[in-house]
Structure 1
Amino acid sequence: MPVFSLDPVQTAWCAELRELAVGTLRPLAARGEPGRVNRPLLAALAERGLLTRMFTGPPGVSPGGFPGAEGGGFANGGGSAVPGEAGRALELCLMRESLAYGCTEAETALALQGLGAWPVARAGTPAQRARWLPEVTAGRAVAAFALSEPGAGSDAAALALRAVPDPRTGRDGWLLTGEKQWISNAPEADFYTVFARTAEGTGSRGITAFLVPADRPGLSGSALEMLSPHPVGRLVFDGTPVTPADVVGEPGRGFRVAMDTLNLFRPSVGAFAVGMAQAALDATLAHTAARTAFGGPLKDLQSVAHQVAEMATRTEAARLLVLSAAAAYDAGDPEVPRRSAMAKLFATETAQYVVDTAVQLHGARALRRGHLLEHLYREVRAPRIYEGASEIQRSVVAKALYARHSADRRQEGGT
């Protein structure tokens, strides 16, 4: 069922997260080194239970509300880290929007832990979950999602990283050879969820997911100089050994592991964008109400007021689309890929518009280093590219629409 409003408990929790982001997490982020993993920031997220909550849901809520409410899970290696799905995507979206409003670095640190470790929580073996997930949720181990390559970014099915049988072990292992690029948290992560080709000429069906610790022989990496405040890097696999114990999910089914992860996280990328848009909108409301020009406050100029109204309307529409996509995921809707793509597409494009308009209405002061909007202006650009560029999201939406149209025509007896 689509979500059109939050209940009082959720609203209060979002307010608490905003306060936490501004009062506690933002100072930690400011002390971090750009382009490096901020481990004190991760520790603070862990201390407040947010990393655990990303995987298990809030404590003390009945199983009818959020997953993992009864405790247990992966802490001792027993049971599943995914005891249920109800509320999971909505929970993630609320966290990401609220943290992004007050501290984009904290939001990104939390999201990257989830993106890198979610395949393990979802499809990993009990041993993999027992070894790594407690470390991830405690903020001691940094996770990374290693999908993109120099020649396979938006076209994820075109992966070239090869996993060939290890001649030393025969069928019991592989050697990874090739590169990954544009990998968030690389080269500083403690482990990587790596997607490699185990069968040639089979497209997406020949991809396997592996859990690869950073200290595995033959694995090296280097940092890339990027606009982002978090590390983004390149990984090189030079005969890196992996075994059946490292497989996440099933051999040859890694593309599904990747897409399942992205279907969950794409709406929450939209939530990240909505958080930035809301922060820019609120800053603009305050500025245009106080700033005087041409004999009165800026808000009294119709051209300004109409721009602010447009910013607010688009932000609210983006939020509702994100919540609707999250609700669809939590309900097991078969059209999750389309809804997730719509949410990420509209929300990230909206945030770009809202932040850009906010800068315009603030004038030169918004471009001064250290200004909130200068920070948001740098942060807002990347989400339109990663986890599937806007052009890919449009393709996903169109393909789903035409597939549904064809199915409806067949059902009606048409051609």
Structure 2
Amino acid sequence: MADRSFLSWPFLSPRHQELHDRVEAWAVANISRLSGDGESSAAAAATVRLMVAEMGKAGLLSTAVGRDRSLRGSLDARSLCICREVLARHAGLADFSFAMQGLGTGPISLFGTEEQKERWLPSVARGTTISAFALSEKEAGSDVSALAMRAQPDGNQWRLDGAKTWISNAGIAGLYVVFARTGEAPGAKGLSAFVVEADTPGFSVAKVIDLIAPHPIGTLAFDGVRVPAANMLGSPGDGFRIAMATLDVFRSTVGAAALGFARRALDEALKHASRRKLFGQPLSDLQLTRAKLADMALAIDAAALLIYRAAWTKDVKGTRISRESSMAKLFATEEAQKVIDSAVQIFGGLGVTHGHIAEKLYREIRALRIYEGASEVQKLVIATRLLAEAQTGCPHAPVGQG
């Protein structure tokens, strides 16, 4: 049984405890039956379709897309973290299915007009439409200011030309939030955000990418894709601000997913170490094993504190959390990698056997240290914020959400 003590921390309220228990109950009842047997990209895509549909029916996706009327704001970061932690502890694809419905519509939830929200969010919340966040490009990588895809005005429309890659839900999403260069200014200030529906002429999925832990991801092609002016989020030139504000919220949740993986690894390692006999005694009686288990527990609690500190700051203080969310993602993902590696070591040969839970977790965790800003980028963000705060003497500035 995973640790529940964090639910009583002052960062969380009774409604977060209730949400945790509701998601946990859904996960126990549904994830095993929804998970496919294969580990191909096609099998992963089929599983995601099923999970999104079932999460929508259960009402879980209202939290992901900001349609839960019980929340104070459009997106409650602590609720997102709770959901991702619980789902990741049960299955990586369950976490992915939930998270991408949130990230894919995050720009709409945070910056969309009421008309745009009513047009696109309800079907995503119901699980009848799958969403995607299309930011990355082959050459730009983590340097968002270097995006090359272009959007040019064409009457009362915009014409999009270029390509995006490493886009999760490529091929199964019904709508994509796409960032393109509109040229209002050089670099980051010349980007804008658009909603592109999958059936728009000129849009296609150019390639499906296979990963070590398969999930639907690929390369998108835009060949004269025309979208109405009403599909732009915010104003021309707002794209970078929209992308960064969205990532500010969801980077903390990546840390929460890593935390869920780490908790599962510790739980499995504890059970195995207590049962496995070595040198005439339980593996858990060996001092080196106990030291490893202690280090794992310490890393998990420290990561949880950073994650829920960041989420609480966003929800309650309403301040910019670039530093806090980057710290949470960086520490949680790096430490989860170590925790899972320790679990593999405790399992020995079983831990490197294909299909074993420790081996699956080992593959699942690796991508989290790269996507939504690699660990090295998080260090740059943290240092940049620290230097800015040192120069201005102001640790926080209000977050603009349009």
When normalised by structure 1's length, the TM-score is 0.87
C-alpha displacement at 1:223, in angstroms?
1.2
User: 1:80-159 residue pairs with structure 2 within 5 A?
Assistant: 82=74, 88-159=76-147
User: 1:166-205 residue pairs with structure 2 within 5 A?
Assistant: 166=154, 169=155, 172-199=156-183, 202-205=186-189
3-state SS in 2 of match to 1:144: strand
Any conservation in 1 of the 2:184–2:191 contact (CA below 8 Å)?
no
3-state SS in 2 of match to 1:239: strand
User: Is 1:25 aligned to residue 28 of structure 2?
Assistant: no
Work out the CA distance in 1 between the residues paired with 2:213 and 2:274.
32
C-alpha displacement at 1:7, in angstroms?
4.7
Work out the CA distance in 1 between the residues paired with 2:234 and 2:335.
36
Work out the CA distance in 2 between the residues paired with 1:257 and 1:347.
25
C-alpha displacement at 1:201, in angstroms?
5.4
Choose from 373, 378, 397 the match for 1:388. Answer: 373
C-alpha displacement at 1:3, in angstroms?
5.5
C-alpha displacement at 1:333, in angstroms?
4.8
Any conservation in 1 of the 2:64–2:101 contact (CA below 8 Å)?
no
Q: CA-to-partner distance for each residue in 1:317-375, whole Å, 9 max, x for gaps?
A: 00110000001111245340000000000000011000111001101112222221121
Q: CA-to-partner distance for each residue in 1:181-212, whole Å, 9 max, x for gaps?
A: 00000022111000000007511111000000
C-alpha displacement at 1:173, in angstroms?
2.5
3-state SS in 2 of match to 1:215: coil
C-alpha displacement at 1:108, in angstroms?
0.7
Any conservation in 1 of the 2:44–2:216 contact (CA below 8 Å)?
yes
Work out the CA distance in 2 between the residues paired with 1:149 and 1:208.
15
Work out the CA distance in 2 between the residues paired with 1:121 and 1:9.
21
| Residue of structure 1 in register with 2:61 after alignment | 51
| Residue of structure 2 in register with 1:210 after alignment | 194
Report which stretch shifted further, 156-165 or 329-338: 329-338
| Residue of structure 1 in register with 2:328 after alignment | 343
3-state SS in 2 of match to 1:404: helix
C-alpha displacement at 1:27, in angstroms?
2.2
User: Is 1:359 aligned to residue 359 of structure 2?
Assistant: no
C-alpha displacement at 1:17, in angstroms?
2.2
| Residue of structure 2 in register with 1:298 after alignment | 283
| Residue of structure 2 in register with 1:247 after alignment | 232
Work out the CA distance in 2 between the residues paired with 1:13 and 1:176.
40
| Residue of structure 1 in register with 2:398 after alignment | none
| Residue of structure 1 in register with 2:397 after alignment | none
User: Is 1:165 aligned to residue 153 of structure 2?
Assistant: yes
Are the structure 2 counterparts of residues 145 and 18 from structure 1 closer, same or farther at C-alpha, using a change threshold of 3 Å? same
Any conservation in 1 of the 2:202–2:222 contact (CA below 8 Å)?
yes
Report which stretch shifted further, 203-212 or 329-338: 329-338
Any conservation in 2 of the 1:3–1:327 contact (CA below 8 Å)?
no
Are the structure 2 counterparts of residues 405 and 3 from structure 1 closer, same or farther at C-alpha, using a change threshold of 3 Å? farther
Q: CA-to-partner distance for each residue in 1:39-82, whole Å, 9 max, x for gaps?
A: 221111111110012234756x5xxxx237xxxxxxxxxxxxx3
C-alpha displacement at 1:403, in angstroms?
1.4
Are the structure 2 counterparts of residues 403 and 239 from structure 1 closer, same or farther at C-alpha, using a change threshold of 3 Å? same
Letter in 1 for 2:285: D
C-alpha displacement at 1:229, in angstroms?
2.7
C-alpha displacement at 1:159, in angstroms?
0.5
Are the structure 2 counterparts of residues 286 and 109 from structure 1 closer, same or farther at C-alpha, using a change threshold of 3 Å? same
Any conservation in 2 of the 1:179–1:234 contact (CA below 8 Å)?
yes
| Residue of structure 2 in register with 1:72 after alignment | none
C-alpha displacement at 1:268, in angstroms?
0.5
3-state SS in 2 of match to 1:199: coil
User: Is 1:263 aligned to residue 251 of structure 2?
Assistant: no
Q: CA-to-partner distance for each residue in 1:230-257, whole Å, 9 max, x for gaps?
A: 2101011111112311101111101111
Work out the CA distance in 2 between the residues paired with 1:243 and 1:366.
52
Report which stretch shifted further, 264-273 or 49-58: 49-58
Letter in 2 for 1:18: E
Any conservation in 2 of the 1:116–1:193 contact (CA below 8 Å)?
yes
Q: CA RMSD in A?
A: 2.0
Letter in 2 for 1:252: G
Letter in 1 for 2:292: Q
User: Is 1:34 aligned to residue 58 of structure 2?
Assistant: no
Letter in 1 for 2:72: P
3-state SS in 1 of match to 2:153: strand
Any conservation in 1 of the 2:19–2:79 contact (CA below 8 Å)?
no
Report which stretch shifted further, 27-36 or 301-310: 27-36
* Number of positions where the alignment pairs a residue of Structure 1 with one of Structure 2: 382
Any conservation in 2 of the 1:15–1:98 contact (CA below 8 Å)?
no
Choose from 250, 260, 274 the match for 1:289. Answer: 274
Are the structure 2 counterparts of residues 338 and 246 from structure 1 closer, same or farther at C-alpha, using a change threshold of 3 Å? same
C-alpha displacement at 1:226, in angstroms?
1.9
Are the structure 2 counterparts of residues 156 and 101 from structure 1 closer, same or farther at C-alpha, using a change threshold of 3 Å? same
Q: CA-to-partner distance for each residue in 1:366-411, whole Å, 9 max, x for gaps?
A: 22222211211111000100000000000000111111122239xx
Work out the CA distance in 2 between the residues paired with 1:248 and 1:195.
10
Any conservation in 2 of the 1:160–1:178 contact (CA below 8 Å)?
yes
* Seq. identity, %: 45
Letter in 1 for 2:101: Q
3-state SS in 2 of match to 1:136: helix
Work out the CA distance in 1 between the residues paired with 2:28 and 2:93.
11
